[in-house]
């Protein structure tokens, strides 16, 4: 029987950084501690789409049969985020989608469920995506430790690079960190209680349970990949389970922060990036109990190359101008106009245009080859009627035809960079640009495309695609490939 | 589009015998009725109409924000029991309403008709355009954002820049000081333009036309009736056209160096009028300076100068009031503002005054042929009206 496991991975760390000093009114110091925060145009769904797209580079999307989305911060209380992510990725309609929600440990459940599903039917390929953008009370103690990020794994029986050998879970009922129906912010009990009886008790119970169950020892593992509410508390688990400090995967506090449901997955990505054949990883998820996994790296790791590494994302941080910018991006500022007021995109328009707006599909004329965006009925090139086939633009590259900087549009971070882009297949797309600064812009600048939130009018996220400057080294890699 | 093989053309079939224009501005004290009445009655007086109820056979209106449709004009002027139509065609609305009137007269449907363009955007409580967030694609949907998209590529290709744009604004502000009905009567410097608040790069506040309220009117008639009105120097329609081209944001072949609809409409209108060398045969122009870059591209797109040569012509003053081909002699949209439906008719008003030697301090000497130009949409549509003397 073929092995089932993780056959590809991807991650996403937003480029927006909040220097921790800014939270309490200080000045950002070069190289000082910071955290990654979702930009004003990002949320758990957009981050999940970007991480998943990274994971799917080189993978035939028609072969994907499931998408499991793990998050505590889906933008919807009722409405599935997994189906939205699948649509943005232009995955097949005949696909199982599930949201794993409600606990920081949701990604463990999603990953295990995917492995079980593929084990039951090895023709399946399931994408597991974890993303979180948790809102701490502004200027609270926990705010400094929180960060936003996403990670994605493709679970299949096709040349897995890592397999789950065994697992051990414990469930616990405790109010340490929670958010009820009516809370806007994460609530937490006293820190020392949380660490002692929530975090440490459960992490050790799951970790020790796994070691006992598998008959192994800490020394069997190349790395310990551990969730942690803060940098210090992880040390207690390392010690308690018998690991050396050197074995512990760096948790990136001061750069990314505790990214909730995506935290252990992101650290697992980091561990896999530097793993060798036959190494074992001791991975522990936390939340309302804990779950430990024993993961073994296979020989396929040698052939796997991530599209973007964590280091790539870490190098591309850009500090916010101020703490106010952060508050504004979360609609926490006092402003004259509520930027969410109004009806937003009518549901019927969204329904008719979701292939365009969400899946980013253009149309190629089967008569003359002209590519149109958005879809239309009559061809610009040869006037043929209804002779089109869909072409996905999201995983193609493009270049800027022309651009402008709009100071009039109500953007939380003016000016809004707007670029008319030509996609490599000839489609023309008028897009806002993200993760860019004015000085980067020139005609013919190479770009790629990312799924982003355009606005929250109607008190719901309204998504579309944006262009993002393609970093040159990456462009060269593309050319070489 | 294929060249028309059977096209008698409109040249010299229709004459303008009266024009009127209210003062453009933030007309807080005036409703649409006040402005429509001022413009129409000035046109009546200009044509010497003593009995408009009998003499006006039909009314062609243009407005982008009408609150009551055709009744807005008919009720204001009490012109009932006759055809009253309203057209809306982006920023080319005024000229398009005029075109319908011209076509109706040329076809023999009517002898004498009234054209009224008007708009009252200043009742909306905002100083700029409204942004509609009922879409996620296509934002920011601002006119400045659409028109500024041509700048970056043009600048990189032909070397013009913000300074040349600023000089256009300075010129138009100067001309506006000489036009009694303009809104802004203030000389500015290139430095003022460059240092003003950025709206949509490279446009600062001074690169953009303001929003204003206004109305303008024209009375047109058949050629053989033209001299039966008050003046003996009627102005004739030599050519009129409107062309709609593909949206630059979706057009797979758009090059961001020229506006296609202007080129298409110019080709048509020059053919109608038999113009082969527009720079020599046309003596002045009112062009759609909604943004300074629109005026710059229009110099080239109308064939006044070679593509890419606008920079040198701006520097040498070709389009200034005392230049070889004065453009926006009344200060353009820059100083009149842009009540969308009124603008095209306001340009016709200015060209008629110029051709009849009534433009006072801004008079262009020996002008017998004048063109007006609107460009609207994203932009997609261009209307041109070429007027001349007998």
Q: Please indicate, yes or no, if residue B73 is contained in any of the structural domains.
A: yes
Give A-chain residues touching B144 at CB under 8 angstroms.
406, 408
B60 within 8 A of B137, measured Cβ to Cβ: no
Q: Test A409 with B139 for CB contact under 8 angstroms.
A: yes
Query: What is the full per-residue pLDDT of chain A (481 aa) written as tens digits?
Result: 579 999 999 999 999 999 999 998 888 888 899 999 999 999 999 999 999 999 999 999 999 999 999 999 999 999 999 999 999 999 999 999 999 999 999 999 999 999 999 999 999 999 999 999 999 999 998 999 999 999 999 999 999 999 999 999 999 999 999 999 999 999 999 999 999 999 999 999 999 999 999 999 999 999 999 999 999 999 999 999 999 999 999 999 999 999 999 999 999 999 999 999 999 999 999 999 999 999 999 999 999 999 999 999 999 999 999 999 999 999 898 877 788 888 889 999 999 999 999 999 999 999 999 999 999 999 999 999 999 999 999 999 999 999 999 998 888 889 999 999 999 999 999 999 999 999 999 999 999 999 999 999 999 999 999 999 997 655 455 444 4
Give B200's contacts in chain A (Cβ within 8 Å).
404-408, 415
At A301, list the tokens.
């790791």
Give which of A394, A408, A414 to mutate to test B binding, by max B Cβ within 10 Å: A408
B333 is written with which tokens? 């949209």
Residues of A in contact with B204 (CB under 8 A): none
DSSP B285-347: EE---SBHHHHHHHHHHTTSS-TT-HHHHHHHTTTSTTSSS-B-TT-HHHHH---HHHHHHHH
Q: Which residues of B touch A (CB under 8 A)?
A: 128, 131, 133-140, 142, 144-145, 148-153, 156, 197-202, 246, 248-254, 256
Contacts of A407 in chain B (CB under 8 A): 197-201
pLDDT given at position A114: 98
Binary contact (A408, B144; C-beta < 8 A): yes
CA distance A366 to chain B (A): 16
> What's residue B7's pLDDT?
60
**Do A426 and B145 make contact, defined as CB atoms within 8 angstroms?**
no
Q: In a mutagenesis test of the B interface, which of A43, A353, A402 is the best target, namely the one with the most B β-carbons within 10 Å?
A: A402
Buried b (16+ CB within 10 A) or exposed e, B349-366: bbbbbbbbeebeebbbee
Q: What is the DSSP string of B37-66?
A: HHHHHHHHHHHT-S-HHHH--EEEEE-SS-
- Check which CATH number belongs to the domain holding B18 and give it: 3.40.47.10
Q: Name chain A contacts of B293, Cβ cutoff 8 Å.
A: none
**Contact check, Cβ <8 Å, A430/B136:** no
Q: Report the gap between the CA of B196 and the closest CA in chain A (Å).
A: 12
Strands A96-101 and A66-71: parallel
Q: What is the spatial distance between Cα A50 and Cα A259, in angstroms, rounded to a whole number? A: 16
* Residues of B annotated as catalytic (active site), given as ranges: 91, 338
Q: B148: nearest CA in chain A?
A: A404
* CA–CA dist B239, B384 (Å, integer): 8
Structural domains in chain B (count): 1
The residue of chain A nearest to residue B147, with distances taken between CA atoms, is: A404
Residue B380 lies in a domain: no
CA of A324 vs chain B CAs: smallest distance (Å): 22
Phi-psi label, residue A471: left if phi above 0, alpha if psi -120 to 50, beta otherwise? beta
8 Å CB contact of B136 and A464 = yes
Range of the domain at B218: 14-124+211-228
> How far is residue B63's CA from residue A125's CA, in Å, rounded to a whole number?
58
Contact B151 A402 (CB under 8 A): yes
- B255 to chain A: nearest residue by CA? A401
Report chain B residues whose CB lies below 8 A from the CB of A370: 252
Q: Do B137 and A342 touch (CB under 8 A)?
A: no
Residue of chain A minimizing CA distance to B250: A428
Residue B374 in domain: no
Q: What is the pLDDT of residue B5?
A: 46
B262: Cβ–Cβ under 8 A, 6 or more apart, which residues? B243, B297, B298, B301, B302, B373, B375, B382, B384
- Is B202 part of any domain? no
Contacts of B260 in chain A (CB under 8 A): none
**Residue contact A420–B134, C-beta within 8 A:** no
Give the nearest chain B residue to A356 (CA atoms).
Answer: B137
**Mutation target among B130, B134, B136 for the A interface, most CBs of A within 10 A:** B136
Q: Tell me the chain B residues in contact with residue A463 when contact means C-beta distances shorter than 8 Å.
A: 136
Residue of A350, A404, A432, A438 for testing the chain B interface, max B β-carbons within 10 Å: A404
Domain presence at residue B328: no
B131 to chain A: closest CA residue: A409
Cα gap A362→A331, rounded to integer Å? 33
Instruction: Express each pLDDT in A394-421 by its tens digit.
Output: 999 999 999 999 998 888 889 999 999 9
Condensed to tens digits (0 to 9), the pLDDT of residues B142-161 reads 899 999 999 999 999 999 99
Buried b / exposed e across A301-320, counting CB within 10 Å, b at 16+? beebebbbbbebbeeebeeb
Q: Cβ A405–B151 below 8 Å, yes or no? A: no
What lies within 8 Å, CB to CB, of A431 at 6+ separation is A418, A419, A421, A449, A464, A465, A466, A467
pLDDT of residue A441: 96
All residue ranges of chain B with pLDDT < 50 are: 5-6
Of residues B138, B145, B254, nearest to A404 (C-beta):
B145
How far does A406 lie from chain B, in Å, by closest CA?
4
- Structure tokens belonging to residue B281: 């045969």
Would the CB atoms of A420 and B200 count as touching at under 8 Å?
no
Tokens standing for residue B261: 């609809």
What is the pTM (predicted TM-score) of this model?
0.94
Which own/partner pairs from B49-52 qualify as long-range (CB within 8 Å, at least 24 positions apart)? B49/B18, B49/B219, B49/B229, B52/B77, B52/B79, B52/B114
How near does any CA of chain A get to the CA of B192, in Å?
A: 18
3-class secondary-structure state, position B105: helix
Cβ contact, residue pair B138, A401, below 8 Å = no
Q: Would you tell me how many other CB atoms lie within 10 Å of the CB of residue B181?
A: 21
Q: What is the pLDDT of residue A481?
A: 42
| Assigned domain for B146 exists | no
Q: Which two tokens stand for residue B193?
A: 């333009």
pLDDT at position B173 is 98
Chain A nearest-CA residue for B138: A430
| Contact check, Cβ <8 Å, B136/A454 | yes
Residues of A whose CB is below 8 A from B133 = 342, 344, 455, 457, 462
A and B: number of Cβ contacts within 8 A: 122
Q: Are A428 and B128 inside 8 Å of each other by CB? A: no
Point out the residue among A345, A428, A457 whose CB comes nearest to the CB of B249. Answer: A428
pLDDT at B2: 52
Q: Look at residue B23 and tell me if it is in a domain.
A: yes
Give A410's contacts in chain B (Cβ within 8 Å): 131
Query: Which positions in chain B touch A423 (Cβ < 8 Å)?
Result: none
Question: Which of A407, A416, A434, A466 would best serve as a mutation to test chain B binding (most B beta carbons within 10 A)?
Answer: A407
Q: Do B133 and A344 touch (CB under 8 A)?
A: yes
Domains and CATH numbers, chain A: 5-329 (3.40.47.10), 347-480 (no CATH)
């Amino acid at each position: 029987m073929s092995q089932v496991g993780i056959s590809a991975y991807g991650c996403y760390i937003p480029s927006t950084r909040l220097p921790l000093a800014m939270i309490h009114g200080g000045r950002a110091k070069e190289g000082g501690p910071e955290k990654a925060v979702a930009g004003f145009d990002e949320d758990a769904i957009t981050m999940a789409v970007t991480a998943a797209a990274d994971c799917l580079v080189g993978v035939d999307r028609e072969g994907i049969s499931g998408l499991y989305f793990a998050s505590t911060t889906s933008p919807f209380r009722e409405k599935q985020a997994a189906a939205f992510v699948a649509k943005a990725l232009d995955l097949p309609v005949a696909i199982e989608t599930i949201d794993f929600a409600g606990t920081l440990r949701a990604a463990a459940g999603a990953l295990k469920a995917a492995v079980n599903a593929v084990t039951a039917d090895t023709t399946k390929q399931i994408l597991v995506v974890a993303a979180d953008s948790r809102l701490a009370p502004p200027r609270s103690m926990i705010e400094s430790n929180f960060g936003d990020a996403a990670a994605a794994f493709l679970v299949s029986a096709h040349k897995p690079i890592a397999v789950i050998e065994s697992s051990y879970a414990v469930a616990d009922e405790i109010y340490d960190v929670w958010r009820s129906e009516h809370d806007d912010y994460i609530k937490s009990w006293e820190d020392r209680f949380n660490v002692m009886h929530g975090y440490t008790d459960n992490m050790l119970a799951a970790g020790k349970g796994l070691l006992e169950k598998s008959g192994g020892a800490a020394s069997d593992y190349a790395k310990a990949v551990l969730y942690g509410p803060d940098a210090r508390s992880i040390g207690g688990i390392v010690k308690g389970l018998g690991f050396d400090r050197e074995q512990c995967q760096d948790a990136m506090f001061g750069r990314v922060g505790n990214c909730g449901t995506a935290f252990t997955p992101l650290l697992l990505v980091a561990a896999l990036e530097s793993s060798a054949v036959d190494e074992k990883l001791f991975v522990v998820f936390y939340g309302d109990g804990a779950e430990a996994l024993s993961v073994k790296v296979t020989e396929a790791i040698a052939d796997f190359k991530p599209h973007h590494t964590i280091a790539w994302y870490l190098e591309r941080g850009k500090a916010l101008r101020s703490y106010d910018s952060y508050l504004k991006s979360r609609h926490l500022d006092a402003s004259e106009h509520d930027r969410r007021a109004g009806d937003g995109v009518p549901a019927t328009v969204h329904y008719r245009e979701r292939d365009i707006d969400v899946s980013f599909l253009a149309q190629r004329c089967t008569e003359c080859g002209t590519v149109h965006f958005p879809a239309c009925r009559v061809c610009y090139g040869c006037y043929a009627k209804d002779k089109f086939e869909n072409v996905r633009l999201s995983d193609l590259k493009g270049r800027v035809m022309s651009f402008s900087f709009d100071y009039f549009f109500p953007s939380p971070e003016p000016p809004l960079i707007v670029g008319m882009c030509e996609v490599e297949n000839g489609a023309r797309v008028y897009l806002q640009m993200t993760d860019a600064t004015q000085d980067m812009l020139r005609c013919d600048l190479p770009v790629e495309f990312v799924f982003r939130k355009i606005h929250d009018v109607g008190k719901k996220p309204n998504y579309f695609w944006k262009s993002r400057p393609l970093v040159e080294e990456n462009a060269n890699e593309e050319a070489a490939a | 589009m294929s060249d028309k093989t059977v096209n008698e053309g409109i040249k010299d079939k229709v004459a303008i015998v009266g024009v009127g224009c209210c003062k453009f501005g933030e007309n807080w004290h005036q409703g649409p009725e006040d402005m429509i009445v001022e413009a129409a009655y000035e046109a009546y007086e200009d044509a010497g109409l003593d009995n408009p109820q009998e003499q006006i056979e039909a009314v062609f209106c243009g407005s982008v924000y009408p609150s009551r449709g055709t009744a807005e004009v008919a009720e204001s002027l009490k012109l009932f029991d006759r055809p009253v139509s309203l057209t809306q065609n982006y920023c080319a609305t005024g000229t398009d309403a005029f075109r319908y009137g011209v076509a109706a007269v040329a076809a023999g449907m009517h002898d004498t008709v009234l054209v009224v363009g008007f708009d009252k955007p200043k009742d909306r409580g905002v100083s700029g355009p409204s942004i509609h967030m009922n879409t996620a694609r296509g934002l920011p949907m601002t006119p400045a954002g659409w028109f500024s998209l041509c700048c970056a590529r043009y600048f990189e290709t032909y070397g013009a820049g913000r300074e040349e744009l600023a000089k256009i604004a300075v010129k138009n502000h100067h001309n506006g000081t000489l036009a009694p009905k303009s809104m802004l009567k203030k000389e500015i410097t290139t430095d003022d333009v460059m240092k003003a608040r950025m709206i949509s790069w490279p446009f600062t506040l001074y690169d953009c036309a303001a929003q204003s309220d206004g109305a303008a009117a024209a009375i047109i008639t058949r050629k053989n009736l033209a001299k039966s009105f008050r003046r003996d120097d009627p102005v004739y329609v030599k050519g009129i056209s409107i062309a709609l081209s593909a949206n630059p944001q979706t057009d797979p072949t758009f090059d961001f160096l020229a506006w296609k609809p202007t080129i298409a409409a110019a080709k048509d209108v020059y053919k109608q009028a038999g113009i082969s060398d527009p720079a020599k045969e046309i003596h002045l122009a009112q062009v759609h300076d909604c943004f300074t870059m629109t005026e710059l591209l229009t110099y080239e797109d109308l064939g006044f100068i070679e593509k890419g040569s606008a920079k040198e012509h701006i520097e040498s003053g070709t389009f200034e009031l005392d230049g070889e081909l004065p453009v926006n002699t009344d200060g353009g949209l820059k100083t009149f503002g842009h009540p969308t439906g009124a603008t095209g008719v306001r340009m016709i008003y200015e060209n008629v005054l110029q051709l009849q030697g009534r433009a006072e301090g801004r008079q262009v000497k020996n002008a017998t042929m004048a063109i007006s130009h609107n460009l609207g949409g994203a932009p997609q549509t261009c209307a041109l009206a070429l007027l001349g003397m007998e």
